[in-house]
Amino acid sequence: MRRRSIHRPATLTWLAIVSVWALCASATALGIGAPSLSVSPTTPSQAADWTFTFSAQPDPFATLTGYEGGIVASASEEPATPIASPFVATGLPEGVHVFRVRAVQQDLLLGEVRGPYATATIQVDRTPPAAPTATFVPATPNGTNGWYRSLTIDWSCSDPSGAVCPDQVISVARAGATARQVATDGAGNVSAATVTPAFNFDNGAFLPAISSPSNAARVAAEPTYRWVRVTDPTSGNDRFEVWARWAGVSDQLIARAGATATSATRNARTGPLPQAVSIRWFVRFYDRAGNFRDSSARTFTIDPTPPSSAPAITGGPAGPTRETTPTFSWSGTEPSFSWDVTRAGDAAPAQAGKGAAKQVTLNALTDGEYTFRVSQVTALGAQGPEVTQAFSVDTTPPAAPVITGRPANPTATPAAFAWSTETGAFSRWQVVDGAGTAVKGPSDTPATSVTVGALASGAYTFRVSQVDAAGNVSPPAAEAFAVQLPPGTVVTTPKPRAVPLPTQNASRLTPRAGRRVATIRPVFRWKKGPAGTTLYNVQVFRVVKKRAGRAATIKKIHSAFPRATRYRSPKKLAAGQCYVWRVWPYTGSSFTAQPLGISNFCVVSSKVLRRNAARAKARQKARAQATVARVG
């Protein structure tokens, strides 16, 4: 009896432990989770073969024995086919597919236990999405004349697997532009392209540059506003506007000008501008799309108290020059002067000065367009109206002329050549023999053709360069030719006879062609140039040699840029000499395509000049005596 009472508690204890263990094991087995599952490639995809990788962690008192699963029609199916990781499904057709997998484990007490399914839904998509559709935002042009100034193409696309077609913000200015887009779905399928209807887009105007009045100018009356012409190559020019403001007044429009204008006077404000206050002004340029840009601003003051007259510029270039340090001189009655030189488009002068001097040599300037201005300054410091003179520095030689006419090769007659030059240029030609020795010329000519005269049989080269209005000399254009005279021909120099000098539209110029003038300082006169002419280039050539049967050899001796239609020649003409001269209009930005005219004249001999001077002196003396007699 005592033994049985001793072992009963031990038996009960053992049974309790086993029961608790079994209960725990059962609870653990029932709690096995779904396998972790990954799929390659990612869905959706065009691929036919898919790889499914999975794994599961068995219970502490169980052993993982395998997996069951596969491709099924829906997530409600429970495939029981044994499979292993990784599982590869091949040849899947287009559409939606479901893969399910669960873990199988062997439990010590419960035996074989199956966990819940892990499910992956994949989509095989090999169908391109529909082409996208485009919507313009805004729907109609927000500029003028059918142009957009800002534009977004709103693309729309859709696909069962999702599609992407990004919107496009248009930024490149162009007429007749189009936008192109494709849609790409989640599987990488690409749709057919959609191209929008053509549209015009221009989102930026060009920056204008103002030239006068100069910055901080004091003017006696409302000025003419001038600027450098700009051109919009996309939508084209629409107009220029001049805006101004002063103390107490905001920006207001004071002048309008057309698409090709370079100047304007006040025409958009009825009342006059105020005096004795600083007026800030700028030019606004509009293109045809409605874009606009403002130039830098300058100031001027209308001041009626300064000297009423501007000084007169008496020296300095008034057009193209290759002199980088030009000298300007002027005349005036006030004790001091203020001058500066400004590059076109700049607000601040490049060089400036003040003082009593009436002449200045500028520091070296780079190539470009400039305006020189000078004003008188009173003893009290009041600055008078300015006078300006535009000029350009040009140190770049022009290209060689193009020979357009040549003699037969070989030739038995005097060789004739023709060529083309840029506007404003004259030519310098010569003929050299086979040894490089000059046999004709060099000679300057305002014409673009020449007959070189008689030459002996042999090989020659004709060379011609052009000299632009600034004085830069181009490389020569060369043309080889040969002279082959009939056997026994002797080249002789004909007896001297009158040789016509170059002319072209000479009736527009005075003195008339061929006239003999009785002064070494004749006054040149000519008819007005075309509309827009701001000054003229007068070029004078001295005839060095006149020979029968050949062009005269001439040399350029003077070039000037008067604004009026008359010009007194400098003291460079000599008695008994002949001269060729021409006038070329300058329109403010370029020379005209052809000169106004070419003419010639000769100065009478020294003997005739002395005789005329003696006669003039005698007449003056006779008039003086007659005056004395009347008074007596």
pLDDT (tens digit, 9 = 90+) per residue, 196-214?
A: 999 999 998 888 899 999 8
What integer pLDDT is reported at residue 632 of this predicted model?
62
Span 133-189, pLDDT tens digits:
999 999 999 999 999 999 999 999 998 888 999 999 999 999 999 999 999 999 999
**Per-residue model confidence (pLDDT) at position 531:** 86
pLDDT at 7 over 60: no
Location of structure tokens 């090989």: 459
Please give the pLDDT value at position 8: 45
User: What is the spatial distance between Cα 165 and Cα 157, in angstroms, rounded to a whole number?
Assistant: 6
Nearest-angstrom CA–CA distance, 104 and 416:
110
Tell whether domain 321-393 is in CATH 1.20.1260.10.
no
Burial of 218 (0-12, 13-18, 19+ CB in 10 A): buried
Please, are residues 495 and 546 in contact by the beta-carbon 8 Å criterion? Answer: no
Kindly state the average pLDDT of the residues 499-509: 85
Q: Does domain 2-124 have CATH number 3.40.50.1860?
A: no
Q: What is the pLDDT of residue 589?
A: 67
Q: Would you kindly state where each structural domain of the chain is located, as residue ranges?
A: 2-124, 133-201, 209-302, 321-393, 402-483, 506-609
Which of the residue ranges 9-13, 58-62, 130-134, 516-520 has the most confident prediction, judged by mean pLDDT?
Answer: 130-134
Q: Which amino acid is at 425?
A: A
**Selection from 39, 42, 43, 41 nearest residue 52 by Cα:** 39
Q: Which CATH superfamily is domain 506-609 in?
A: Immunoglobulins (2.60.40.10)
Virtual CA dihedral for 498, 502, 505, 510, nearest 10 degrees? -70
Alpha helices in 44-197 (DSSP H): none
pLDDT above 90 for 430: yes
Q: Which two tokens stand for residue 21?
A: 């263990």
87: number of Cβ within 10 Å = 18
* Non-local CB neighbours of 611 within 8 Å, separated by 6+ positions: none
Quick one: tokens of 600?
């010639």
pLDDT given for residue 11 in this prediction: 43
| pLDDT tens track for 87-113 | 999 999 999 999 999 999 988 888 889
**pLDDT value for 549:** 56
Structure confidence by residue, pLDDT tens digits, 360-405: 999 999 999 999 999 998 876 788 889 999 999 999 999 999 999 9
Name the more confident of 6 and 446: 446
Mean pLDDT for all residues in the chain: 88
Phi, psi of 28 (to 5 degrees): -70, -45
Residue 380 pLDDT: 63
Tokens of 614: 């003696």
The overall pTM is greater than 0.75:
no
* Cis amide bond preceding 86, omega within 30: yes
- Separation of CA 303 from chain center: 38
**559 SS3 class:** strand
**For the residues of 305-347, what is the DSSP string, one character each?**
SS-SS--EEEES-SSEE--SS-EEEEE-SSSEEEEEEEETT-S
Contact present, 208 and 175 (Cβ < 8 Å)? no
Range in 81-85, 463-467, 493-497, 605-609 the model is least confident about: 493-497
Kindly indicate the confidence band of residue 26, based on its pLDDT and cuts at 50, 70 and 90. Answer: very low
- Closest by alpha carbon to 421, among 404, 440, 438, 439? 404
Q: State the pLDDT confidence band at 58, using cuts at 50, 70 and 90.
A: confident
Shortest CA distance to 87 belongs to which of 34, 33, 38, 32?
38
pLDDT at 590: 75
In order of 58, 139, 196, 571, the CA distances from 176 in angstroms are 70, 16, 11, 62
pLDDT of residue 17: 41
The H-or-E segment that residue 21 falls in is: helix 2-30
Residue 1 has pLDDT above 60, yes or no: no
Is pLDDT of 290 > 50? Answer: yes
Rounded to an integer, what is the distance from CA 557 to the centroid of its chain? Answer: 37
Instruction: Judge whether residue 60 has pLDDT over 80.
Output: yes
Q: Is the pLDDT of residue 471 over 50?
A: yes
pLDDT attached to residue 24: 45
Across the strands, what pairs with 88?
Answer: 51
> What pLDDT score does 21 carry?
42
Give percent of the chain above pLDDT 70. 91
pLDDT of residue 572: 76
Return the H-helix or E-strand segment holding 627: helix 606-631
Across-strand partners of 286? 239, 292
Indicate the fold that domain 209-302 takes in CATH. Immunoglobulin-like (2.60.40)
DSSP three-state, residue 539 = strand
d(CA 529, CA 617): 39
- Distances in Å between the Cα of 357 and the Cα atoms of 219, 390, 568 are 22, 21, 26
Kindly give, in sequence order, each residue whose CB lies less than 8 Å from that of residue 588, ignoring residues fewer than 6 positions away: 262, 390, 532, 534
Please list, in sequence order, all residues whose beta carbon lies within 8 angstroms of the beta carbon of residue 399, skipping any fewer than 6 positions away.
422, 474, 475
CATH class for the region spanning 402-483: mainly beta
- Name, in order, each residue with C-beta under 8 angstroms of 36's C-beta and a sequence gap of 6 or more: 54, 55, 56, 118
Domain 2-124 and domain 321-393, same fold? Reply is yes
d(CA 454, CA 494): 10
User: Using one digit for the tens of pLDDT, what is the confidence trace for 570-590?
Assistant: 777 889 899 999 998 988 667
Average pLDDT, integer, range 282-306: 90
The answer to whether the CB of 373 falls within 8 A of the CB of 340 is yes
